[in-house]
Amino acid sequence: MIANVLTIAGTDPSGGAGIQADIKAFSALGAYACSVITAVVAQNTQGVRSFVALDPAFVADQIDAVLEDVRIDAVKIGMIANAGIAEAVADRLRHHKVARIVLDPVMVAKSGHALLDPEAVAAVRDRLVPLATLITPNLPEAAVLLGRPDHWTADDMQTALPELLALGSDWVLLKGGHLAASKESTDLLAGADSVTAFAAPRITTTNDHGTGCTLSSAITALLPGLGMVESVRQAKAYLHAALGAAEALDVGHGHGPVHH
Protein backbone atom coordinates (compact mmCIF):
# COMPACT_ATOMS: atom_id res chain seq x y z
CA MET A 1 0.00 0.00 0.00
CA ILE A 2 1.23 3.49 -0.83
CA ALA A 3 1.61 5.68 2.27
CA ASN A 4 -0.20 9.03 2.39
CA VAL A 5 1.97 11.56 4.17
CA LEU A 6 1.35 15.18 5.09
CA THR A 7 3.78 18.03 5.62
CA ILE A 8 2.75 21.07 7.66
CA ALA A 9 5.40 23.71 6.92
CA GLY A 10 6.48 26.92 5.18
CA THR A 11 7.30 27.42 1.51
CA ASP A 12 10.47 27.94 -0.50
CA PRO A 13 9.68 29.36 -3.94
CA SER A 14 13.22 28.47 -5.11
CA GLY A 15 12.35 24.84 -4.44
CA GLY A 16 15.19 23.76 -2.15
CA ALA A 17 13.70 23.76 1.35
CA GLY A 18 10.39 23.81 3.18
CA ILE A 19 7.21 22.37 1.67
CA GLN A 20 8.77 22.04 -1.77
CA ALA A 21 11.68 19.90 -0.48
CA ASP A 22 9.24 17.87 1.61
CA ILE A 23 7.04 17.03 -1.39
CA LYS A 24 10.08 16.08 -3.48
CA ALA A 25 11.42 13.75 -0.77
CA PHE A 26 7.99 12.19 -0.14
CA SER A 27 7.52 11.57 -3.86
CA ALA A 28 11.04 10.22 -4.45
CA LEU A 29 10.48 7.71 -1.64
CA GLY A 30 7.21 6.49 -3.12
CA ALA A 31 4.72 8.16 -0.78
CA TYR A 32 1.69 10.27 -1.77
CA ALA A 33 2.35 13.87 -0.65
CA CYS A 34 -0.19 16.20 0.99
CA SER A 35 0.81 19.68 2.22
CA VAL A 36 -0.59 22.27 4.59
CA ILE A 37 1.09 25.67 4.43
CA THR A 38 1.84 27.62 7.62
CA ALA A 39 3.76 30.53 6.11
CA VAL A 40 4.60 31.82 2.65
CA VAL A 41 8.30 32.63 2.57
CA ALA A 42 10.16 34.89 0.12
CA GLN A 43 13.50 33.11 -0.06
CA ASN A 44 16.06 31.66 -2.43
CA THR A 45 19.40 29.84 -2.15
CA GLN A 46 20.95 33.03 -0.75
CA GLY A 47 18.59 33.55 2.14
CA VAL A 48 15.20 34.41 3.54
CA ARG A 49 13.91 37.91 2.72
CA SER A 50 10.57 37.93 4.52
CA PHE A 51 7.58 35.77 5.23
CA VAL A 52 3.86 36.04 5.84
CA ALA A 53 2.49 33.64 8.44
CA LEU A 54 -1.04 32.49 7.68
CA ASP A 55 -3.91 32.95 10.12
CA PRO A 56 -3.83 30.05 12.64
CA ALA A 57 -7.55 29.39 12.05
CA PHE A 58 -6.82 29.05 8.34
CA VAL A 59 -3.95 26.63 9.01
CA ALA A 60 -6.39 24.62 11.14
CA ASP A 61 -8.95 24.69 8.32
CA GLN A 62 -6.37 23.30 5.87
CA ILE A 63 -5.49 20.48 8.30
CA ASP A 64 -9.16 19.61 8.79
CA ALA A 65 -9.75 19.64 5.02
CA VAL A 66 -7.02 17.05 4.51
CA LEU A 67 -7.61 14.87 7.55
CA GLU A 68 -11.41 14.74 7.23
CA ASP A 69 -10.97 13.26 3.76
CA VAL A 70 -7.60 11.56 3.34
CA ARG A 71 -6.17 8.68 5.40
CA ILE A 72 -2.86 10.12 6.58
CA ASP A 73 -0.22 7.60 7.68
CA ALA A 74 2.37 10.09 8.94
CA VAL A 75 2.77 13.84 9.41
CA LYS A 76 5.90 15.96 9.27
CA ILE A 77 5.87 19.36 10.96
CA GLY A 78 8.40 21.94 9.80
CA MET A 79 8.27 25.76 10.01
CA ILE A 80 5.61 26.81 12.52
CA ALA A 81 6.31 30.57 12.53
CA ASN A 82 4.49 31.59 15.71
CA ALA A 83 2.73 30.45 18.88
CA GLY A 84 -0.77 30.79 17.41
CA ILE A 85 0.07 28.35 14.62
CA ALA A 86 1.76 25.97 17.10
CA GLU A 87 -1.45 25.93 19.19
CA ALA A 88 -3.68 25.43 16.14
CA VAL A 89 -1.56 22.58 14.74
CA ALA A 90 -1.38 20.85 18.14
CA ASP A 91 -5.13 21.18 18.61
CA ARG A 92 -6.03 19.74 15.18
CA LEU A 93 -3.47 16.90 15.29
CA ARG A 94 -4.75 15.85 18.72
CA HIS A 95 -8.34 16.05 17.49
CA HIS A 96 -7.59 13.83 14.48
CA LYS A 97 -5.47 11.38 16.52
CA VAL A 98 -2.69 11.26 13.93
CA ALA A 99 -0.56 8.16 14.34
CA ARG A 100 3.00 9.18 13.45
CA ILE A 101 4.28 12.73 13.86
CA VAL A 102 7.82 13.82 12.99
CA LEU A 103 8.61 17.30 14.31
CA ASP A 104 11.55 19.20 12.83
CA PRO A 105 11.83 22.10 15.29
CA VAL A 106 12.79 24.67 12.65
CA MET A 107 13.97 27.92 14.25
CA VAL A 108 16.55 29.75 12.13
CA ALA A 109 17.46 29.42 8.42
CA LYS A 110 21.12 28.92 7.48
CA SER A 111 21.08 32.54 6.34
CA GLY A 112 20.37 33.55 9.95
CA HIS A 113 16.75 34.61 9.42
CA ALA A 114 14.40 33.56 12.25
CA LEU A 115 11.65 31.22 11.00
CA LEU A 116 10.09 30.87 14.46
CA ASP A 117 9.09 33.77 16.66
CA PRO A 118 11.37 33.46 19.77
CA GLU A 119 8.31 33.75 22.02
CA ALA A 120 6.86 30.68 20.26
CA VAL A 121 9.60 28.30 21.45
CA ALA A 122 7.60 27.50 24.60
CA ALA A 123 4.50 26.64 22.55
CA VAL A 124 6.49 24.33 20.27
CA ARG A 125 8.19 22.68 23.26
CA ASP A 126 5.10 22.35 25.45
CA ARG A 127 2.32 21.76 22.86
CA LEU A 128 3.90 20.10 19.83
CA VAL A 129 6.90 18.13 21.16
CA PRO A 130 4.71 15.97 23.48
CA LEU A 131 2.58 14.95 20.47
CA ALA A 132 5.59 13.91 18.42
CA THR A 133 6.69 10.36 17.68
CA LEU A 134 10.10 11.81 16.79
CA ILE A 135 11.77 15.20 17.06
CA THR A 136 14.81 15.98 14.89
CA PRO A 137 16.68 18.94 16.46
CA ASN A 138 20.14 20.01 15.34
CA LEU A 139 22.45 21.16 18.14
CA PRO A 140 21.43 24.86 18.13
CA GLU A 141 17.74 23.85 18.19
CA ALA A 142 18.36 21.35 21.01
CA ALA A 143 20.14 24.10 22.98
CA VAL A 144 17.11 26.38 22.65
CA LEU A 145 14.64 23.59 23.55
CA LEU A 146 16.65 22.72 26.67
CA GLY A 147 17.56 26.30 27.60
CA ARG A 148 21.27 25.42 27.67
CA PRO A 149 24.28 27.10 26.00
CA ASP A 150 24.93 26.20 22.36
CA HIS A 151 28.41 24.80 23.07
CA TRP A 152 28.59 21.05 22.61
CA THR A 153 30.97 18.15 23.01
CA ALA A 154 30.24 14.57 21.97
CA ASP A 155 29.61 13.77 25.66
CA ASP A 156 27.14 16.65 25.94
CA MET A 157 25.15 15.12 23.08
CA GLN A 158 24.81 11.85 25.03
CA THR A 159 23.73 13.57 28.24
CA ALA A 160 21.20 15.75 26.39
CA LEU A 161 19.29 12.71 25.09
CA PRO A 162 17.34 11.90 28.29
CA GLU A 163 16.67 15.62 28.81
CA LEU A 164 15.25 15.89 25.30
CA LEU A 165 13.15 12.72 25.73
CA ALA A 166 11.78 14.21 28.95
CA LEU A 167 10.14 16.93 26.83
CA GLY A 168 7.68 14.22 25.78
CA SER A 169 8.38 12.78 22.32
CA ASP A 170 8.79 9.00 21.90
CA TRP A 171 12.09 9.36 20.04
CA VAL A 172 14.77 12.01 19.55
CA LEU A 173 17.19 12.26 16.64
CA LEU A 174 19.89 14.69 17.79
CA LYS A 175 21.81 15.77 14.69
CA GLY A 176 25.51 16.33 15.33
CA GLY A 177 26.41 18.13 12.09
CA HIS A 178 27.16 21.39 13.95
CA LEU A 179 29.73 19.75 16.27
CA ALA A 180 32.98 21.64 15.78
CA ALA A 181 35.74 20.26 13.54
CA SER A 182 35.17 16.54 13.49
CA LYS A 183 35.75 14.45 10.36
CA GLU A 184 32.57 12.55 11.01
CA SER A 185 29.07 13.79 11.52
CA THR A 186 27.27 11.65 14.09
CA ASP A 187 23.55 11.72 14.73
CA LEU A 188 22.15 10.01 17.83
CA LEU A 189 18.72 8.38 17.81
CA ALA A 190 17.32 7.80 21.28
CA GLY A 191 14.13 5.99 22.26
CA ALA A 192 12.81 4.80 25.62
CA ASP A 193 15.43 2.05 25.91
CA SER A 194 17.88 2.37 23.04
CA VAL A 195 20.45 4.75 21.59
CA THR A 196 21.67 4.23 18.03
CA ALA A 197 24.57 6.25 16.64
CA PHE A 198 24.66 7.01 12.92
CA ALA A 199 28.12 8.14 11.90
CA ALA A 200 28.88 9.34 8.39
CA PRO A 201 31.90 11.05 6.86
CA ARG A 202 31.32 14.80 6.84
CA ILE A 203 30.43 16.06 3.36
CA THR A 204 31.88 19.49 2.63
CA THR A 205 29.53 21.22 0.22
CA THR A 206 27.65 24.47 -0.11
CA ASN A 207 24.71 22.54 -1.60
CA ASP A 208 23.12 22.11 1.79
CA HIS A 209 19.96 24.20 1.53
CA GLY A 210 17.02 22.26 2.92
CA THR A 211 18.99 19.28 4.26
CA GLY A 212 17.09 19.27 7.57
CA CYS A 213 13.74 19.47 5.76
CA THR A 214 14.76 16.62 3.46
CA LEU A 215 15.91 14.31 6.27
CA SER A 216 12.78 14.74 8.40
CA SER A 217 10.56 14.29 5.34
CA ALA A 218 12.39 11.15 4.25
CA ILE A 219 11.91 9.67 7.73
CA THR A 220 8.19 10.58 7.60
CA ALA A 221 7.75 8.91 4.21
CA LEU A 222 9.44 5.72 5.41
CA LEU A 223 7.88 5.42 8.90
CA PRO A 224 4.54 3.89 7.85
CA GLY A 225 6.41 0.91 6.37
CA LEU A 226 9.46 0.55 8.61
CA GLY A 227 10.44 0.79 12.26
CA MET A 228 12.02 3.97 13.60
CA VAL A 229 15.66 2.85 13.53
CA GLU A 230 15.40 1.50 9.99
CA SER A 231 13.47 4.59 8.79
CA VAL A 232 16.22 6.87 10.11
CA ARG A 233 18.95 4.67 8.63
CA GLN A 234 17.35 4.68 5.16
CA ALA A 235 16.45 8.39 5.36
CA LYS A 236 20.07 9.24 6.13
CA ALA A 237 21.19 7.15 3.16
CA TYR A 238 18.64 9.01 1.01
CA LEU A 239 19.92 12.42 2.16
CA HIS A 240 23.53 11.31 1.61
CA ALA A 241 22.72 10.32 -1.99
CA ALA A 242 20.75 13.54 -2.56
CA LEU A 243 23.68 15.61 -1.27
CA GLY A 244 26.05 13.65 -3.50
CA ALA A 245 23.84 14.28 -6.53
CA ALA A 246 23.52 18.03 -5.86
CA GLU A 247 26.50 18.87 -8.10
CA ALA A 248 24.36 17.92 -11.10
CA LEU A 249 22.09 20.91 -10.39
CA ASP A 250 22.73 24.51 -11.37
CA VAL A 251 20.27 26.30 -9.09
CA GLY A 252 20.98 29.74 -7.67
CA HIS A 253 24.09 31.50 -6.42
CA GLY A 254 24.02 30.63 -2.72
CA HIS A 255 23.53 27.39 -0.82
CA GLY A 256 22.22 25.14 -3.57
CA PRO A 257 19.55 22.51 -3.02
CA VAL A 258 20.07 18.76 -2.83
CA HIS A 259 18.95 16.64 -5.77
CA HIS A 260 16.08 14.24 -4.97
Interface residues with ligand PLP (CB under 6 A)? 9-12, 17-18, 41, 43, 78-79, 106, 109-110, 115, 209-213, 255
- Nearer CB in complex with ligand PLP: 66/213: 213
Strand order across the 171-175 sheet: 47-53, 32-44, 4-10, 74-77, 101-103, 134-135, 171-175, 184-191, 194-201
Nearer to ligand PLP, 54 or 71 (CB): 54
Smallest distance from ligand PLP to CB 208, Å? 7
CB of 191 or CB of 259, closer to ligand PLP: 259
Q: In terms of Cα–Cα distance, which of 147, 151, 128, 129 is closest to 139?
A: 151
CB of 188 to ligand PLP, least distance (A): 20
Residues sharing a CB contact under 8 Å with residue 23, sequence separation 6 or more, in sequence order: 7, 33, 35
CB of residue 155 to ligand PLP, shortest distance in Å:
27
The least distance separating ligand PLP from the CB of residue 39, rounded to whole angstroms, comes to 7
Q: Which residue is nearest to ligand PLP (CB)?
A: 18
E strand map for the chain? 4-10, 32-44, 47-53, 74-77, 101-103, 134-135, 171-175, 184-191, 194-201
Comparison of 49 and 148: residue with beta carbon closer to ligand PLP: 49
Name which of 48 and 179 has its Cβ closer to ligand PLP.
Answer: 48
The one-letter amino acid code at 37 reads I
Least distance to ligand PLP, CB of residue 106, Å: 4
CA dist., res. 171 & res. 252, Å (int): 36
